[in-house]
Amino acid sequence: MIRYELLDLLKPTLTEELVVCNIGSPSQELHALDDQPSNFYMLGTMGLASSIGLGLAMATDKKVIAIDGDGSVLTNLGTLATIGNNPCDNFILLIVDNGSYGSTGDQPTYTGGRTSLAKVAEACGCENVVECSAEETPEALRAALDANRMTVIVSKCESGNVKCPVITMNPITIRERFMREVAR
Amino acid sequence: MAREIDRQIIGDLRDNGIDFVTSVPCKQLAGVIELVDQTDGILHVPCNKEDEGMGLCAGAYMGGMRPLIMMQNTALGVTLNSLATLIQFYQIPLPMLISYRGEVGEPVACQVEMALHTKALLAQFHIPTYHFHKAEDVAELPGILQHTQMCSKPTAILTDASFWGSAK
Ligand SMILES: Cc1ncc(C[n+]2csc(CCOP(=O)(O)OP(=O)(O)O)c2C)c(N)n1
Ligand SMILES: [Mg+2]
């Protein structure tokens, strides 16, 4: 199962929650599948989805899901230590781990090799870390939301992207409609 | 050890609504960082790298808080992409309290190398920049914090060795 199919499966679960979505194909696919004001699309800045999500979760009581990628977490690996040491029970980090830099042509990342982000997250102090298949991810996400505990989900997917239009929405529009959702 | 100047800076931050601070330490910022950690009404979340910190600040802002980052000028190198594609692109107000290492009074030669590029990079990125050189320059801080919110931009407050040395 590739990222697009996973996001499609997650659609019924992503309703009330605030979603911060990773740069490139992840945001484009989510936007094409299920555009909502509660989605914050990153149009650049690879690596910071988990940090934006954590900062947001610290500032709001609403549930926040950061949909990140393995390559992006690897480039900002310190984020897992910050998350592990600042647990926010309204925060879920969902890492779509397809073992590749999907957006740029599926070049392999080290998570497809010897590196386990779940183990890194645990070693960084994250208490609830779940590694699961893409198929199991909706259930894992539902369980994490119901548990009201900060959770890191590493969802093992296949590499691959579905061609979706580039997001042309103005960044200020994305931010302002998202902030209205946060304040609602 | 926090000093009078550190107390004044933290007081100005509080008075101007700053309630979220992230930081990577610098010797010159040790006093403000120590204080901010103990300040009620300001959540201090240390980050590991300053671009990560800008992500935290962007999230906190969208959640309704008023963030500020404390960092060394050497961190400009790792934050330029985040400044352009996140903070500026999405128009997020972000005051940056920056220790301006490598200016007169600097004991470490290597620090001079990034000091040479600091103002040029900030100017190239169209970041409003304020330079605190004497203790009394701190009086500009409240105005700068308000200006940052007004224009929804990142702003840089450079604090050099003479500033910290002349302050009480
Ligand atoms: C600093 C920087 N380097 C490289 C890129 C190019 N880039 C954009 S998305 C991406 C891949 C991210 O991979 P991952 O987080 O695993 O997400 P995936 O697309 O695989 O879901 C890369 C390398 C970039 N945007 N910024
Ligand atoms: Mg990937």
Residues B114-163 pLDDT 10s: 999 999 999 999 999 999 999 999 999 999 999 999 999 999 999 999 99
* CATH no. for B4-166: 3.40.50.970
Of the partner residues A56, A79, A81, the one whose CB lies closest to the CB of residue B63: A56
Distance (angstroms) between ligand 1 centre and the Cα of A159 equals 13
Of the partner residues A44, A48, A182, the one whose CB lies closest to the CB of residue B63: A182
Residue A183 above 90 pLDDT?
Answer: yes
Residue B42 above 90 pLDDT?
Answer: yes
Residues 6+ apart with CB under 8 A from B2: B31, B32, B34, B35
Give the pLDDT score at B43. 98
With a 6 A CB cut-off, is A102 part of the ligand 1 pocket?
Answer: yes
Choose from A18, A27, A50, A51 for mutation: most chain B CBs within 10 A.
A51
Residue B26 above 90 pLDDT?
Answer: yes
- Tally Cβ neighbours within 10 Å of residue B120: 9
Residues forming beta bridges with residue A68, ordered by sequence position: A95
State pLDDT tens for residues A45-75: 999 999 999 999 999 999 999 999 999 999 9
The DSSP code for B69 is E
Q: What percent of chain B has pLDDT over 70?
A: 100
Whether residues B20 and A86 touch (CB distance < 8 A) is answered with: no
Chain A residues lying within 8 Å of B63, measured CB to CB? 55-60, 182
Cα Rg of chain B, angstroms? 14
Cα–Cα distance, A134 to A118 (Å, whole number): 15
Interchain contact B120–A (C-beta under 8 A): no
Atom of ligand 1 nearest to the CA of A24: 9
> What integer best gives the mean pLDDT of chain B?
98
Give the pLDDT score at A126. 98
Could you state, in order of their start, the residue ranges of all structural domains in chain B?
4-166
With a 6 A CB cut-off, is A66 part of the ligand 1 pocket?
Answer: no
Length of chain A: 184
Helix (H) or strand (E) holding B149: helix B141-151
- pLDDT average, residue stretch B57-83: 98
With a 6 A CB cut-off, is A26 part of the ligand 1 pocket?
Answer: yes
Give the pLDDT score at A1. 97
Nearest CA in chain A to B51: A48
- Tally Cβ neighbours within 10 Å of residue A148: 10
- Distance in Å, alpha carbon of B132 to nearest chain A alpha carbon: 29
Cα–Cα distance, A137 to A132 (Å, whole number): 6
The SS3 assignment for B18 reads coil
Residues 6+ apart with CB under 8 A from B38: none
ipTM, two decimals, is: 0.98
Residues forming beta bridges with residue B24, ordered by sequence position: none
Q: Which domains does chain A have, with CATH numbers?
A: 3-183 (3.40.50.970)
- Tally Cβ neighbours within 10 Å of residue B168: 7
Report the predicted TM-score, pTM, of the whole model to 2 decimal places.
Answer: 0.98
Give the pLDDT score at B1. 79
| CB distance A8 to A144 below 8 Å | no
State pLDDT tens for residues A3-21: 999 999 999 999 999 999 9
Measured in Å, how far apart are chain A's first and last C-alpha atoms?
35
